[in-house]
Structure 1
Amino acid sequence: MPRLAVVVTAVILLLASCTAPDEEDLPELSDAGGVGPFTFATGRDTTGYLQPLLDAWNREHPAERVTLIELPEAADEQRAQVVANLQARSDEYDVIGLDVVWTAEFADAGWIIPLERELFPLNRFLPTVVDTAVYRDRLWAVPYTSNAGLLYYRKDLLEKEGLSPPKTWAELRKQATKLSAKYDIGGYAGQFLAYEGLTVNFAEAVHSAGGQILSPDGTRVTMNADRAVAGLDFLVRGLREGWIPQESLSYKEEESRLAFQEGRLAFARNWLHGYGPATLSPVAGKFAVTRLPGLDGPGSSSLGGVNLGISAYSKRQKSALEFIRYFTGLDNQRRVLTEGSFPPVWAELYDAPDLIKRFPYLPVLKQSLLSATPRPASVDYNQVSLVIANAVSRALTPPFAEPSSDVVASLKAGLSEITRHR
């Protein structure tokens, strides 16, 4: 049995055992109660900025102290731990840091509670970011940090060659080929190991070719074959021609970050987390970032980031709500950027002159966030991502025997099997 068919069969068996709650079964905040000490479960803080912000809350709210529960750093490991907790109906987690792609799944399962939009200044947030917290026209979490894929490039090499940063795939291909040969470095890389990062890179390629993967509600496959083939061929061609190095097939975020900041790549797709370390690396002062290129012009990034939700099994939901209002406020959002180096969700922070002076990437990042496209919104996102990464990985692996059109056709069939069961 082909590898993709095995994956799809396993996914279908898993979906068959899942049932979504009825709308009336979902808890309302007005029915929730509970004030007192609570917990905040989120991914591991690698910068050390988070605890001081929690300490500030605790000083002002001694009767409602928050305790940090650090989850694993990798998103898939975070999800596994959180899902196990919620499936057991445990009240251990009160506020939960949710990857932006978990909203539909967690809301549909009844694991988090709906929130009143009027309680939060959502009109001052980036609109694309707010959309990641909405499912079936209801708000299920509050955006806390965002993220968008950016194109890191060696501005020193481009200036030497009299080149401007590429806006299209054709320009990227031409420049990456030239710089790779002349300076004996890799041309371009992203995250091409078969995991969530590959799903992100493929989704960006499809969206940057003007295509879609699923309908906005995640219930139908809307993938245009020509657009999807164009996006996949952009990656396959790079590997076949060599301007995307073969070792990038083992890259996740950290491997691609290190390859660029160590001077082994001319161009790299990555999240913002790679910017700060690069300023302290051998390429310090020699690089810059711009929007991802696309088929006919600037492309479309996938959205990343963390939203804050409240567990349906929390016994401290009122305290959890007040904490989220506090933690997503303007002052803390500024600290998210200045102390944590994470993209904030308040739009006005991207236009503040003092912040732009300190973080010169903000205008480009804002453009990328406003033009970004969410990854496929599906209550079965984890299964959707698995099927995409499996199919795309097969296409990118030498000897490239399977035409991109065949890979896309089998991918559409696999995704249709998933959505058909919803």
Structure 2
Amino acid sequence: MRRLLPVVLAVLVTAGCSTAVAQKTERFGGSGPFTLVTGRDTTGYLQPLLDRWNETHPGERVTLLELPEAADEQRAQMVANLQAKSDRYDVLGLDVVWTAEFADAGWILPLERGAFPLDRFLPPVVDTAVYQDKLWAVPYTSNAGLLYYRKDLLAKQGFKPPRTWAELREQARTLHDKYDIGGYAGQFLAYEGLTVNFAEAVQSAGGQILSRDGTQVTMDVARAKTGLDFLTGGFREGWIPQESLSFKEEESRLAFQEGRLAFSRNWPHAYGPATTSAVGDKFGVTRLPGLNGPGSSSLGGVNLALSAYSKRQKSAVEFIRYFTGLENQRRVLADGSFPPVWAELYDDPGLIKRFPYLPVLKQSILSARPRPASANYNQVSLVIASAVSNALTPPFTEAGDDVVASMKGQLNEIIRAQ
């Protein structure tokens, strides 16, 4: 009986938890086949995970609907579907910056916090799914920018990985001149990626663009100009190549792994392909540099939300619980090289052996800042990307403080119109 007692108690506790979860999700009705809509899977990891669900849920099969790779295009297609109140989309893979907009528009439904193990997720990641004190989605993957660098070239020059912008500038210029290689690049095409790169520069100079709740423009012109000057200076001096004005994530990834860049800012998904590329074992990763030390990344990732127009909500919510569970999170990392949201996976020795960047990535995520929770985030991003793109493009006729002051004025108009 003594040996059986713990087993009996465990069964009762498990049953109690299952009942509690069922009670928290019973308000959602409708079962049957449903869809998951998200950005294009460039690694091929996703369908095998969906197949595992389908094998055990033959009456609730999930179909993957892939949207374009670029976040801007994904959002446009989702918004068109939701504005039409179509029930074609059930589970939405949302960029973390869309939470406020989609919730404010009534396109997604709030979820019960207690139905998901949020206390075991990285805290900043959970914040991206909360708007006005309600949970509107469940974190699925996280993301933070990393600095990829050619450790072989740094070793030849006796350099350590740069921690500050001044060190990055010195090393990028030296390697550019000596090895005829591009110094540094990020994502500098005029789209959401440029907004991210600029936001990281502002944060890494000690500033911010909007308040945390997205209701005020809190941009300090001097700090924002410092961040902008870091980028424009690289283009003026040539250690950021002009071709990177057309770079999104894939273009910058390819440029680095083909050996055309000494340094590259990118997300962790670029790590796996680089290990089997021309740079092979010649590269490393570290945190983004900043003005006076390690910088601050923008927090990226994907959250899973429930469409307000889904007719299969019960199946969709159960799938979200399944797909954000610990075992699937392990596979998201192991098979797709995407950062998981469960904190304990970043300390797993087996995973660290396979993905040596995990400790650095964990610190990058914990020190990252979410982009503003603005219901008009798309307009905010368009204003920033357009202004910064003009500043980075020759002949560099606009003064940095004028660019920032004009940007701040436009942002104020957007926020006041909310």
With the length of structure 2 as denominator, give the TM-score of the two structures: 0.93
Match of 1:211 among 207, 210, 213: 207
Confirm or deny that 1:303 pairs with 2:307.
Answer: no
Instruction: Give CA deviations for 1:201-258 in whole Å, capped at 9, x if unaligned.
Output: 0000001111110111111100011110110000011111111111211211111111
Confirm or deny that 1:53 pairs with 2:49.
Answer: yes
Structure 1 gap ranges (5+): 1-27
Query: Could you say which residue in structure 1 is the equivalent of 2:401?
Result: 405
Query: Could you say which residue in structure 1 is the equivalent of 2:163?
Result: 167
- Counting only pairs closer than 5 Å after superposition, residues 31-70 of structure 1 correspond to structure 2 as 31-70=27-66
Query: Could you say which residue in structure 1 is the equivalent of 2:123?
Result: 127
- Counting only pairs closer than 5 Å after superposition, residues 225-304 of structure 1 correspond to structure 2 as 225-304=221-300
Q: Give the drift of 1:31.
A: 4.4
Q: Give the drift of 1:30.
A: 6.0
The amino acid that maps onto 2:319 is F
Query: Could you say which residue in structure 2 is the equivalent of 1:354?
Result: 350
Aligned counterparts of 1:349 and 1:48: Cα–Cα separation in 2: 22
Instruction: Give CA deviations for 1:155-202 in whole Å, capped at 9, x if unaligned.
Output: 001111111100000111111111111111111111111111111100
**Is the contact made by 1:129 and 1:143 (CA closer than 8 Å) also made in structure 2?**
yes
Q: Give the drift of 1:47.
A: 1.7
The amino acid that maps onto 1:343 is P
**Is the contact made by 2:332 and 2:339 (CA closer than 8 Å) also made in structure 1?**
yes
> Which structure 1 residue ranges, 4+ long, deviate > 2 Å from structure 2?
28-32
Q: Give the drift of 1:50.
A: 1.3
Q: Give the drift of 1:376.
A: 2.4
Match of 1:315 among 311, 318, 322: 311
**Is the contact made by 1:351 and 1:363 (CA closer than 8 Å) also made in structure 2?**
yes
Aligned counterparts of 2:410 and 2:401: Cα–Cα separation in 1: 14
Aligned counterparts of 1:225 and 1:44: Cα–Cα separation in 2: 37
Query: Could you say which residue in structure 2 is the equivalent of 1:190?
Result: 186
**Is the contact made by 2:129 and 2:135 (CA closer than 8 Å) also made in structure 1?**
yes
The amino acid that maps onto 2:311 is K
Q: Give the drift of 1:359.
A: 0.7
Q: 32-41 or 149-158, which moves further after superposition?
A: 32-41
Confirm or deny that 1:87 pairs with 2:83.
Answer: yes
The amino acid that maps onto 1:310 is L
Confirm or deny that 1:364 pairs with 2:360.
Answer: yes
**Is the contact made by 2:188 and 2:244 (CA closer than 8 Å) also made in structure 1?**
yes
Superposition RMSD in Å? 1.2
Query: Could you say which residue in structure 2 is the equivalent of 1:335?
Result: 331
Q: Give the drift of 1:329.
A: 0.3
Aligned counterparts of 1:73 and 1:193: Cα–Cα separation in 2: 15
Tell me the secondary structure at the aligned position of residue 41 of structure 1.
Answer: strand
Q: How many residues align?
A: 395
Tell me the secondary structure at the aligned position of residue 149 of structure 2.
Answer: strand
**Is the contact made by 1:107 and 1:113 (CA closer than 8 Å) also made in structure 2?**
yes
Tell me the secondary structure at the aligned position of residue 82 of structure 1.
Answer: helix
Q: 72-81 or 129-138, which moves further after superposition?
A: 72-81
The amino acid that maps onto 1:147 is N
Q: Percent identity?
A: 80
Q: 321-330 or 176-185, which moves further after superposition?
A: 176-185
Query: Could you say which residue in structure 1 is the equivalent of 2:105?
Result: 109
Aligned counterparts of 1:232 and 1:146: Cα–Cα separation in 2: 26
Query: Could you say which residue in structure 2 is the equivalent of 1:376?
Result: 372
Q: 376-385 or 196-205, which moves further after superposition?
A: 376-385
**Is the contact made by 1:93 and 1:314 (CA closer than 8 Å) also made in structure 2?**
yes
Match of 1:181 among 177, 183, 186: 177
The amino acid that maps onto 1:271 is W
Structure 2 gap ranges (5+): 1-23
The amino acid that maps onto 2:282 is K
Q: Give the drift of 1:29.
A: 6.6
The amino acid that maps onto 2:269 is H
Aligned counterparts of 1:215 and 1:272: Cα–Cα separation in 2: 27
